[in-house]
Amino acid sequence: MKNFIYQRQWGWLASGITLGLAFLLAVAFVKPVGVSTQFVILDGIVWDIFSDDVTIESSTSKTGYSSTNAYLNKGGGKYAKNIANPLNYSFIFVLAMVAGGFVGSKLQSDKVEKNEIYFIPKIWEKRFGSSLNKRYLATFLGGILVLFGARLAGGCTSGHMMSGIMQTSLSGYLFALGAFATAVPVAIMMYNKEE
Amino acid sequence: MNIILAIILGLLFGFVLQKSGAANPQRIIDMLRLKDFHLMKAIAVGIGTSSFSLFILLAINVIDVAHIGVKASYVGVIIGGAILGLGWAISGFCPGTGVVAVGTGRKDAMFFIVGGLLGAFIYTLLYGSLKTTFLFDSLGGKATLAATGSSKYIALLPSAPAFVIAGGIAISFIIIAWKLPNSQSNQV
């Protein structure tokens, strides 16, 4: 057990079973795992500091909150409500994920030296060189696309693909179809040339 | 209580994503370029085992059906998925694995998160003008293959017992995981 916790990386079977368990426990105790909505909530928390009408307490809305922004006002103001009350389950869950990653990497018996090259995946370096700025620009642009896409789809790999297909949701399959349809050809075009 | 559960379940999920290698963009890119199926196998086993357990536990009322949450199907699910797929291949991160990678100390993941916050903000501003377009045309609404037992969701295969359908799908996923080629290297 101790070795298992300290291993740098688990094999596919152990990874799969523990991943499945994490998704199952979340739905058993609270609700399916979701991540991408919380990017909107964090944006809203910051935006709320600078503007008065991002969240408005409203007795006529279902959640008690509304917003002048159509997206934050959606579903009876549920995003506006969570922005006004950041200490809610979904937001804390995502913050705890950061801590989970931290604990996981700290409890690793063979330490990886986090020198500059560590932030560039080997395959990226082979294809695009060892410029850190280039890599950072790519992850920044990738981030814009990933979260814009996830919000349009109404969920991401966690919410749609894993939680969705777990529940046999049609939307989970449609999302996976869309995501792999671009991700696989783009990854092959971008990274497979050097071989 | 909910906050304590959020901390425990979030910690567990983050820890597992890190240990499975999903927070390592090299692993993601190698999966997407079809060179290393470690993560694909893990995802398939994860979906298979959790789905089968979920429908068994729903059938014997251990899990409250009010806890499940099925998302709607509309055109934007596919198009949004495709846009996400582009960024996923470029960066090697998705929202959850990017968040966990920040916890492991990856600076490239921090740039991903900042980009993600911008992308989500752009969407927040554009939603008002997108919501009346074809992107939100329904493709079946909140539908599942196996009957969940909740009247909020449409069951596409209502005649067979739910755990038989979910079980069949789960077994298919586990067979796929088992049949996909093994990873060439365990350490990337």
The pLDDT, as a whole number, for residue A118 is: 80
In chain A, positions 47-76, which contact chain B (CB-CB < 8 Å)? Answer: 47, 69-72, 74
Q: Are residues B97 and B178 in the same domain?
A: no
The pLDDT, as a whole number, for residue B188 is: 46
- Which of B140, B161, B176 is at the close of a domain? B140
Which residue in chain B is spatially nearest to A26 when comparing CA positions?
B9
Q: Are residues B15 and B45 in the same domain?
A: no
Most A CBs within 10 Å: which of B4, B7, B13, as the mutation test of the A interface? Answer: B13
Q: Are residues B47 and B128 in the same domain?
A: no
Give the tens place of pLDDT for each residue, A54-64: 999 999 999 99
Q: Are residues B103 and B125 in the same domain?
A: yes
Q: Does residue B91 lie in a domain region? A: yes
Q: Are residues B128 and B156 in the same domain?
A: no
Residue pair A99/A167 in contact (Cβ under 8 Å)? The answer is no
Q: Is B113 on the interface with A (CB under 8 A)?
A: yes
Q: Is B30 on the interface with A (CB under 8 A)?
A: yes
Query: Which range is least confidently modeled, B40-44, B88-92, B159-163?
Result: B159-163
Give the tens place of pLDDT for each residue, B98-138: 999 999 999 999 999 999 999 999 999 999 999 999 999 99
Rounded Cα–Cα distance for residues B55 and B143 (Å) = 15
Phi, then psi, of B155 in degrees rounded to 5 = -95, 125
Considering its fold, how many domains does chain B have in total?
A: 2
Q: Are residues B185 and B117 in the same domain?
A: no
What are the DSSP calls for A67-124, one per residue? Answer: -SSHHHHHHHHHHHHHHH---SHHHHHHHHHHHHHHHHHHT-SSPPP--GGGGS-HHH
Which residue in chain A is spatially nearest to B72 when comparing CA positions?
A171
- Provide ipTM, 2 decimals: 0.96
The residues of chain A scoring below 50 in pLDDT are none
Q: Are residues B58 and B90 in the same domain?
A: no
Q: Are residues B77 and B161 in the same domain?
A: no
For range B65-82, the mean pLDDT: 97
Residue B29 pLDDT level (bands cut at 50, 70, 90):
very high
Q: Are residues B84 and B109 in the same domain?
A: yes
Q: Does residue B29 lie in a domain region? A: no
Chain A residues close to B72, C-beta within 8 Å: 154, 171
Segments forming the whole domain that contains residue B90: 1-24+71-140
The pLDDT, as a whole number, for residue A115 is: 66
Q: Are residues B135 and B146 in the same domain?
A: no
Q: Does residue B12 lie in a domain region? A: yes
The whole-angstrom distance between B134's CA and the closest CA on chain A is 12
Q: Does residue B129 lie in a domain region? A: yes
Rounded Cα–Cα distance for residues B74 and A175 (Å) = 10
The pLDDT, as a whole number, for residue A117 is: 67
CB contact under 8 A, A152 and B105: no
Q: Does residue B10 lie in a domain region? A: yes
Rounded Cα–Cα distance for residues A140 and B183 (Å) = 29
Q: Are residues B75 and B124 in the same domain?
A: yes
Q: Is A45 on the interface with B (CB under 8 A)?
A: no
In chain B, positions 70-89, which contact chain A (CB-CB < 8 Å)? Answer: 70-74, 76-89
The pLDDT mean for chain B works out to: 95
Q: Are residues B83 and B136 in the same domain?
A: yes
- Which of B101, B123, B140 is at the close of a domain? B140
